[in-house]
Amino acid sequence: LLYLDHCGSTPLAKEVEDSILNFLKSESFGNPSAVHHEVGKRANELVSASREAIAHALGAKSNEIIFTSGATEANNLLLWGFALRYRAQGCHIIFGATEHKSVFDTCSALSDLGGVAVTECGVDASGEIDLDELERQLALTQGQSVLVALMHMNNEIPARHPVESVSRLCTRYGAFFHCDGVQGYVRERLDFASGLYGSYVISTHKIYGPKGLGLLVFGSGPLSTRITSAYHGGSQEAGLRPGTLNTLAIVAGAATVALHESKRAQRVQHMAHCAEAFVNTLSGLISSFKLTTPLNSKVAGIVNFYFEDIDAPTLLASLKEVCINRGASCTGSGGEQYSHVPKALGLPVEVQANVLRASFGDAVSMEDSKIAAARIAERVRQLVDERIK
Ligand code: PMP
């Protein structure tokens, strides 16, 4: 199998696997909240040490890290939390047109809640937020409690929002800046203390760590806000995300973050080389191969493409040994549905449904990336031949 879906998920790194095995041997199965007895205390100490290490790596304070079950939950927790806190006085959420569904669909659900206005902000043809439009929208919401939800880097197209300018605009207009950093953190270091973000979200299974752990970095910086959690039933994570903590994933998460900090540069370089090799091979073999957005050195390893006159579902169905997608895996757009992102780019309708994504990382070599491209080219030729017959 040729695995070209690193934006979907990544395999566990050996070092992270070792941390899990050590944890399993350590008899730290107690409830980390049961600090009055020894077994609970042991688990609690592991959680605290992991939290401390993660916070340190992210330039955050340990009380600014909220553990969740993943980025989807972290985005929901923050957005619902903001809406519930501010809707009585009327609040406004501005979100990007290419956000991951965990932000996009949540904003649309919140618009039905009452007291919450939501506005979508468009992107240009390269997928970057339109800063003039954002500023116009911010100016119209003056005096209200406003949250801007914009991702750092996109998970389907190689696009990076100018988060520095977005943050400056948020500060100028008194808005809270929530950033889905799942793909951004893969490629860039986070220094939360820089004050660029009000909150930032990371998912460990995108960086060779466990599935089922999200990090909501949120707290006391200059853009801080208060939120009212939609959850009840426990005092964990300052009462914002109640529920017994997943000690195993948290311990593994600390190992994941530490490893990623030491390997990021190397990983990014590898992703960039694989993506280039893939694109060069395909462009050399098939003239109808087109990129929706050009390769972007700031967002290494993501290729969003289509073949003129080739139906993406038919191609995917005949490509079982090459793991690629039609969009984000979590929305089902991996297979049967297609994504909202090509539409936001303004691509013609006939192209929107036939866009594919390949994303690179440690589970694929440069040679395999070329082989995958050649296999795809072979299938495209077969589909064209069958049509001619
Ligand atoms: N946001 C982005 C940008 C993502 O790429 C993903 C994963 N596809 C998510 C959020 C959701 O992450 P998780 O799987 O941890 O819920």
In order along its 389 residues, the chain shows pLDDT tens digits of 999 999 999 999 999 999 999 999 998 999 999 999 999 999 999 999 999 999 999 999 999 999 999 999 999 999 999 999 999 999 999 999 999 999 999 999 999 999 999 999 999 999 999 999 999 999 999 889 999 999 999 999 999 999 999 999 999 999 999 999 999 999 999 999 999 999 999 999 999 999 999 999 998 655 567 899 999 999 999 999 999 999 999 999 999 999 999 999 999 999 999 999 999 999 999 999 999 999 999 999 999 999 998 999 999 999 989 999 987 766 554 555 678 999 999 999 999 999 999 999 999 999 999 999 999 999 999 999 998 87
CB 279 less than 6 A from any atom of ligand 1: no
| Measured distance CA(132)–CA(12) in Å, rounded | 41
Supply the residues annotated as catalytic.
330
Q: Please choose, from the candidates 67, 320, 328, the residue with its C-alpha nearest in 3D space to the C-alpha of residue 216.
A: 67
Would you call 103 helix, strand, or coil by DSSP? helix
Could you identify the atom of ligand 1 that is nearest to the CA of residue 213? 15
From 107, 325, 329, 330, give the residue whose CB has the most ligand 1 atoms within 8 Å, as the site to mutate. 330
35 alpha carbon to ligand 1 midpoint, in Å?
Answer: 33
**C-alpha dihedral, 142 to 106 to 260 to 293, nearest 10°:** -80
At 320 the pLDDT is 86
| Measured distance CA(32)–CA(28) in Å, rounded | 9
206 alpha carbon to ligand 1 midpoint, in Å?
Answer: 8
CB 253 less than 6 A from any atom of ligand 1: no
The one-letter code for the residue type at 157 is: I
The one-letter code for the residue type at 69 is: S
* Exposure letters 296-318 (e unless 16+ CB within 10 A, then b): beebbbbbbbbbeebebeebbee
From 66, 67, 206, give the residue whose CB has the most ligand 1 atoms within 8 Å, as the site to mutate. 206
219 alpha carbon to ligand 1 midpoint, in Å?
Answer: 21
Would you call 286 helix, strand, or coil by DSSP? coil
The residue whose CA is least distant from atom 7 of ligand 1 is: 8
The one-letter code for the residue type at 76 is: N
Sequence-ordered list of residues with C-beta below 8 angstroms from that of 265, at least 6 positions apart, any chain: none
CB 151 less than 6 A from any atom of ligand 1: yes
Distances (CA, A) of 67 to 11, 54, 202, 212, 310: 21, 11, 10, 10, 43
Tell me which DSSP letter residue 153 carries: B
Range list of β-strands (E), 196-235 = 199-203, 214-218
Cβ-contact 208, 12 below 8 angstroms:
yes
Q: Please choose, from the candidates 324, 326, 330, 264, the residue with its C-alpha nearest in 3D space to the C-alpha of residue 300.
A: 264
286 alpha carbon to ligand 1 midpoint, in Å?
Answer: 32
At 336 the pLDDT is 54
| Measured distance CA(149)–CA(84) in Å, rounded | 16
At 92 the pLDDT is 98
